[in-house]
Amino acid sequence: MREFASGLLLLTGALFCLITGIGMLRTKDTYAKLHIGTKCLTVGASLVLLGAGLRLPTGLGTLKVVLMVILLWITNPLATNALARGHFLNSRLEE
């Protein structure tokens, strides 16, 4: 049962990452690309990490993976916000 859940999480996370890549190629706007990258890739990478964490034999390894997911959920939106703000300020200076 644990391997099935792990495989399902890994497959779903890989699908989210694939959808993110397709969305990045289809959009032209920088802000739309940042939005796609933040939302979909955060969920996709989290699912892949959780799926890999379920395959670990010890509880300590799973705890480390959960901490990585929490760190990812905190830092990815903050980094995207900083990138969007930098792009906005740079585009204002060019005008």
**pLDDT digit string (tens) for 57-81?**
887 888 899 999 999 999 998 999 9
pLDDT tops 90 at residue 1? no
- In this prediction, residue 93 has a pLDDT band, given cuts at 50, 70 and 90, of confident
For residue 64, which amino acid is it? K
How distant is the alpha carbon of residue 71 from its chain centre?
Answer: 11
Question: What spatial distance separates the first Cα and last Cα of the chain, rounded to whole Å?
Answer: 58
| Structure tokens belonging to residue 10 | 């890994």
Residues 17, 44 contacting (CB under 8 angstroms): yes
Give the global pTM.
0.82
